[in-house]
Structure 1
Amino acid sequence: MTQLVYTVCSISQIPFALALGEDLQKYEPNTQFVIGLADRLPSDLPAIAFPIVAADELGLPFLSEMANRYTVDELTRSLKPYFASFLAKKYQANKIIFLESQTQLFQSLSKTWEILNEYDIVLSPNITQQRNPKHPINEPSFLNAGLYNAGFWGYKPSTQAESFLTYWKERTKEKGYFDFCHGFGAEQLWLNFIPIFQENVYIQSEIGVHYHPYNWVENPLTMDEKGNYVIAQSFPLQILQWQNLSLATQKGYFKNQIGVSESTLKTLKKLQNVYLSNLKKYTGFNSFVPSMGKIEQKASKNFLSTAIEKGCLKMIDWIEEFEVQ
C-alpha cells in the first residue's frame, strides 16, 4: 500500500509535470508520483525520471470517441477520474492526491494525507469569501466555473470514493467540454454535486493550502523575514497552482486580476519568471504535437490585425512590468 500523487497532461505539457515531480521528490520523498499522459506514448520520447502512463493503457473502448469529441485540453481534463481509478489499482494506493501539472509545492502534503485518514474525499474550493459584485471574477462566475477546483483533490479507495469517481467518469465521458452558455464547465463543474451526493467529504479551505488564480484576490502573498512565502501574513504557502502558462513564449498573463494587491502581483510575477526559467532545462519535448484530441485552430489574421495584436501584447507586457515591479 502506498500514497500516490498523480497528474494528467498533454504531451506538450510534460515539462510542467516533470517540475512537479521534482517538487514532490523534495517534499514528499516517500510518495509515488505518476504522470498520466492524455495521448499515445511516442517511441522517441526523451527519457523521463518518473513513471508515465499513456491514455491507451487505460483500456477505454470509447477513448477514440472522446478524443474526437474533445479538444486536447478538454480530453486531458476529462481523463482525470479514469486515471485515478486505473493508477490506484496499478500501484495499490491507499491514498491518492491529484495535482494539476502547472503546480508548485512549497511544503509537504501532510495535512491532506492526515485528512484522508478520516475522510474519503477531499475537495478544494475556488472561493472562500464573498466577492465584490463588480470584480471581473465575481460570485456568478463560479456558477459557470464551479465551486471546487479540479486542480487539487484527493480520495482514498472506499465505497464513497468509488461512487464519486463513477459519477464523475460518467459525466466527463460525454459532457466534459467547455460550453458556459449551456452550463458545461469541462470536468470541474461536476464537482459541485459531490458534497451533496457523497458522504464523508472534506472541503480543505484552510488559507495557504491551495493558492490559485481564483483566490489570489482573497489573500495577499508575501515573503517573510526567513525567505518563506506566506499567505495573509502568517499562513505558509503549500500549493501554488498556475494557469495558462506558455512554454513557447515564457509568459503567463495575469488576466482579470483586478483587486489583487500590487505587492502580491509583484511576488507572483517573480515566482512565475523563476518557474518558467527553470523549465527550460527540460529539453526535447517542444517538437511533439498531441495526437489525441482536437487542436483548436486559430483564425487566420491579416497584416493589420496581426500588427495590432503585437502592439497590444507589448502594451500588456509594459503594464504588467509597471504594476508589479
Structure 2
Amino acid sequence: MTLAFTLCSINYLAQARTLGDSLRQTNPDWQFVIGLVDRLAEANLPEELVPAYPMIEVDRIEIEDFAGMCDRYDITELNTAVKPYYMDYLFRHHPDATEVIYFDPDIIVYQPLTRLSASLAEANLVLTPHTCSPINDWLAPNELNHLNTGIFNLGFIGLRRSEETLRFVDWWKKRLAYECRIDLCNGLFVDQHWVNFAPVYFDRVQVERHPGYNVAYWNLHERTISRDGDRWLVNESELQFFHFSGYSPYKPEEISKYQNRFTFNDRPDIVALFQDYGNRLMTNRNDVYRTYPCHYIKPPKTLYYQRVRQALKNPLNQLIAALEK
C-alpha cells in the first residue's frame, strides 16, 4: 500500500484538500492523510470546513518535547520540522505501507505516479533537485540562492520501507528537533540543507531528473508547459506534479512571491495551469481557512525576543553584548 501525506496548519487546509482531490483523481489506490500541525478542538471548524480526508493531529504522534519545538520555531519551521516524525509515525502505525510519499500542500498531481512507484521498487529514497541545468542569469532564484536553501526541494520526497530508510528518518528527526530554522548565516534553511547529505550517508538514494517532477518557479527556465487534449506536458513529457510554491490567488499577477525571473506575460504557457489552481483553491474555501491562526505558534515579536535571549546564553554573545553597552 502506498500512503501519501502532507503537512499544514488549518490556514492551509484549502491547499491540502486540493492536493488530496488531485491524488484521489489520479492515484485512487493510494491512501492520503493530512498531518495537521494545529488543534481542531480550538478551531471548532464548522462541518463544511472539515476535510473529507483523514487528519492526524500533531499531538497524537508523540514527539518528544514538542512544546519546546513550538517555542523554538515559527509556523514554517514547525510545519517542516515535524516531517520525519510523521514519516516515523506512519511507518510504525501502518505496517502495510510499503511506500510513504510526502507532498507539500501546494502541489497538484496530474498523472498516475507509476514512474515513482517503479523507482521505489528499488530506491530507498527519491529526491528532486531544484534545478537540473545551469541558470545563466542572476535573477532570483539563482544558483547562489539554491546553495543557500539546499540542492533538493523537500516539498516532495518518496520513501520505500526498508531498514536504510528508517535509519534516514531517525537521523533526520534528530537534526530537525533543534536545527530546522531559517538561519542562512549559520547554514540552515529548515529541513533542506540536511538532505544534501542523504546521497552520501545512505544507500539507494535516487535523484529524479524527470522534467515532469516537482515543476515550480525555480526550474521554469528549463521547462516549458504545453497541453495535448486533457494532458499537461513538460518538454513533451507528461507533467507528473506541479508545485505552486509562493503563489496566491489574491495576487493572480504573480507566479510566486519568491521569484523575479518570469511574469505571466513572459510565460503564457503556464497561465491556464495557474488559473485552474487558483480556482481550485477558492472552491476549497481558501478565503475562510486562511483566517485561522495556528494554535501552536507565538506572535512573531515574541518569538524574536525569545531567540535573542537564547543567543545571549552563548558566552561570546554575552561578551559582545557587554562591550556594546
Question: Is the 1:104–1:241 contact (alpha carbons within 8 Å) kept by the matching residues of 2?
Answer: yes
Matches within 5 A, 1:113-262: 113-224=117-228, 226-232=229-235, 234-246=236-248, 252-255=254-257, 257=259, 260=262
The list of structure 1 runs, each at least 4 consecutive aligned residues, that deviate by more than 4 angstroms after superposition, is 247-253, 255-264
2:220 counterpart SS class: coil
Question: Is the 2:182–2:188 contact (alpha carbons within 8 Å) kept by the matching residues of 1?
Answer: yes
Q: Which of 44, 55, 60 is the aligned partner of 1:57?
A: 60
Task: Quote the residue 1:28 is aligned against.
Answer: 27
The CA deviation string for residues 35-72 of structure 1, in whole angstroms up to 9 with x for no partner, is 00112223622332110001100111311111111101
Task: Quote the residue 2:107 is aligned against.
Answer: 103
After TM superposition, the structure 1 stretch with the greater mean CA deviation from structure 2, 151-160 or 259-268, is: 259-268
Task: Quote the residue 1:78 is aligned against.
Answer: 81
Task: Quote the residue 2:321 is aligned against.
Answer: none
CA distance in 2, matches of 1:243, 1:289: 20
Structure 1, unmatched stretches of 5+, are: 298-325
The CA deviation string for residues 218-277 of structure 1, in whole angstroms up to 9 with x for no partner, is 1122223x2422112x11111000112346666754346555586772232332222122
> Which letter does structure 1 place at the counterpart of 2:130?
N
Question: Is the 1:121–1:161 contact (alpha carbons within 8 Å) kept by the matching residues of 2?
Answer: yes
Task: Quote the residue 1:320 is aligned against.
Answer: none
> Which letter does structure 2 place at the counterpart of 1:202?
Q
Identity rate, percent: 27
CA distance in 2, matches of 1:292, 1:250: 30
CA distance in 2, matches of 1:126, 1:149: 6
How far off is 1:76 after superposition? 0.3
CA distance in 2, matches of 1:105, 1:220: 17
TM-score (normalizing by structure 1): 0.84
1:13 counterpart SS class: helix
Task: Quote the residue 2:50 is aligned against.
Answer: 47
CA distance in 2, matches of 1:100, 1:38: 13
> Which letter does structure 2 place at the counterpart of 1:83?
Y
1:210 counterpart SS class: coil
TM-score (normalizing by structure 2): 0.84
CA distance in 2, matches of 1:264, 1:274: 18
Cα distance change of structure 1 residues 84 and 295 upon mapping to structure 2, 3 Å threshold: farther
Cα distance change of structure 1 residues 255 and 175 upon mapping to structure 2, 3 Å threshold: same
Task: Quote the residue 2:310 is aligned against.
Answer: none
Q: Which of 275, 278, 291 is the aligned partner of 1:276?
A: 278
CA distance in 2, matches of 1:290, 1:47: 16
> Which letter does structure 1 place at the counterpart of 2:191?
E
Superposition RMSD on alpha carbons, in Å?
2.2
Cα distance change of structure 1 residues 250 and 36 upon mapping to structure 2, 3 Å threshold: farther
Cα distance change of structure 1 residues 109 and 227 upon mapping to structure 2, 3 Å threshold: closer
CA distance in 1, matches of 2:291, 2:252: 16
Structure 2, unmatched stretches of 5+, are: 302-325
CA distance in 2, matches of 1:257, 1:269: 16
CA distance in 2, matches of 1:248, 1:84: 33
> Which letter does structure 1 place at the counterpart of 2:2?
Q
The CA deviation string for residues 134-165 of structure 1, in whole angstroms up to 9 with x for no partner, is 34322222111100110111111211101111
> Which letter does structure 2 place at the counterpart of 1:38?
V
CA distance in 2, matches of 1:17, 1:241: 12
